[in-house]
């Protein structure tokens, strides 16, 4: 396994870095403060090919790989975690399952505009009583005599929900079959009977709009099924395996932001006649942060490389997400400590990193679920 980026991957990283530094970072504090969906940045990401990085160009994507995706996610999330997760959802949770499970008609109708950024997608699996227990779906899809489906239910915490054009939706079509009774659909968000609740008022990633989605007698045609009837759980779990690479890269970007901001501050702030970086208590914190960030990056790139090479990567993606999210939270906490009182006020960015980091331990599988996934592979000898 060679971790030296290719020229194409380096080009993606450079483009993402320039975009993040010049266009995203100057707006990050305002986006957070105003809870504002950064529509202009989403449009720019579409122009740069960042909303369908690993989708073949025949379907509107950039035709690159998952290592490139991880590199771009890190750069953009380093500048603004809210912008990063909008990109992650569209790539990992919407384009990826439609590319892997969709029919040719679905790819032409939905994947091409989603990957090119003409449309924005969301992924609706979680419910008020179905978070980590994804098989406990209560949203019901009932098949009609003409082959169409009628869907009723509620989805929770749906990232991009209030601003999405299309949704990868999971429903229970046969409760007696348990997880084998779950079916996935591609749902146009303007379908009659679809309604979104008010945007969630969140601790962090406040520029990323999320909400409940209400489905009241929503009728979808037979060709809206994604994959096979009863195959929705497989679609969901395999999609989340890939999604964890994106969220791990988001966590890495947040951790890097915490380190870089803390390092710059420690070189300028003086106590006892010298910059605080010259105090061992501070320098050791920075050294630990840098070491853990590098380790997280290697785990992420390994998982992305395995996916690109069509090798099993579920355990490795779970490890990457588990470790990177832990690193992000620890780095953000230590950054506040290095800033001292200044770290606790909104004038400085580290309090935002602290708030943004927490969600990476929760969505697309909590840290506890990641440990269950990893332990499951170990129990099977994997």
Exposed / middle / buried, residue 260 (Cβ in 10 Å: 0-12, 13-18, 19+): middle
To the query of whether residue 364 is one of the catalytic residues in this protein, the response is yes
Gap between the Cα atoms of 19 and 40, Å rounded: 12
- The first and second tokens of residue 307, run together, are 């996916």
Task: Tell me the C-alpha distance between 194 and 187, whole Å.
Answer: 9
Cα–Cα distance measured from residue 170 to residue 179, given in angstroms and rounded to the nearest whole number? 11
Q: 23, 292, 361, 364: which one is catalytic?
A: 364
d(CA 202, CA 72): 25
CA 381 to the chain's CA centroid: 29
Distance in angstroms (rounded) separating the CA atoms of residues 330 and 359: 13
Compute the distance between CA of residue 206 and CA of residue 188 in angstroms, rounded to an integer: 25
**Vertex 40: Cα angle to 37 and 45 (nearest 5):** 100
C-alpha span between 236 and 184 (Å, rounded): 8
What is the per-residue burial (b if ≥16 Cβ within 10 Å, else e) of 74-87? bbbbbbbbbbbbbb
Tokens 């968000």 correspond to: 189
- Cα 244 from chain centre: 7
How does strand 121-124 pair with strand 166-172? parallel
Residue partners of 268: CB distance under 8 A and separation at least 6: 275
Q: Give every CB contact of residue 202 below 8 A, 6+ residues apart in sequence.
A: 210, 359
Catalytic sites, residue numbers: 364
């Amino acid at each position: 396994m060679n971790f030296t980026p290719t020229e194409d991957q380096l080009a993606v990283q450079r483009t993402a870095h320039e975009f993040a530094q010049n266009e995203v970072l100057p707006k990050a504090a305002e986006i957070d403060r105003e809870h504002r969906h950064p529509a202009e940045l989403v449009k720019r990401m579409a122009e740069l090919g960042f909303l369908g990085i690993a989708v073949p160009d025949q379907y509107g994507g950039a035709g690159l790989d998952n290592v490139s995706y991880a590199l771009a996610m890190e750069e953009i999330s380093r500048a603004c975690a809210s912008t990063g997760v909008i990109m992650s959802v569209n790539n990992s949770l919407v384009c990826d399952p439609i590319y892997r499970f969709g029919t040719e008609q679905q790819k032409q109708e939905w994947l091409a505009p989603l990957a090119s950024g003409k449309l924005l997608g969301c992924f609706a699996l979680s419910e008020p009583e179905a978070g980590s227990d994804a098989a406990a779906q209560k949203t019901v899809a009932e098949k009609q005599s003409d082959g169409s489906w009628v869907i009723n239910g509620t989805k929770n915490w749906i990232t991009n929900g209030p601003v999405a054009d299309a949704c990868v939706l999971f429903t229970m079509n046969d409760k007696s079959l348990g997880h084998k009774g779950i079916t996935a659909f591609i749902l146009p968000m303007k379908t009659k009977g679809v309604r979104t609740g008010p945007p969630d008022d969140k601790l962090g990633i406040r520029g990323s709009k999320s909400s409940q989605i209400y489905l009241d007698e929503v009728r979808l045609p037979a060709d809206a099924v994604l994959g096979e009837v009863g195959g929705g759980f497989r679609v969901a779990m395999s999609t989340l395996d890939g999604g964890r690479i994106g969220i791990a890269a988001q966590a890495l970007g947040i951790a890097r932001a915490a380190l870089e901001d803390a390092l710059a501050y420690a070189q300028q702030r003086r106590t006892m006649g010298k910059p605080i970086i010259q105090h061992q208590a501070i320098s050791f914190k920075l050294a630990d942060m840098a070491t853990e960030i590098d380790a997280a990056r290697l785990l992420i790139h390994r998982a992305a490389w395995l996916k690109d090479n069509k090798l099993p990567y579920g355990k490795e993606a779970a490890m990457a997400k588990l470790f990177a999210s832990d690193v992000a939270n620890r780095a953000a906490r230590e950054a506040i400590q290095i800033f001292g009182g200044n770290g606790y006020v909104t004038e400085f960015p580290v309090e935002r990193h602290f708030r943004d980091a927490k969600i990476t331990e929760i969505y697309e599988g909590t840290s506890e679920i990641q440990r269950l996934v990893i332990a499951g592979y170990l129990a099977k000898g994997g």
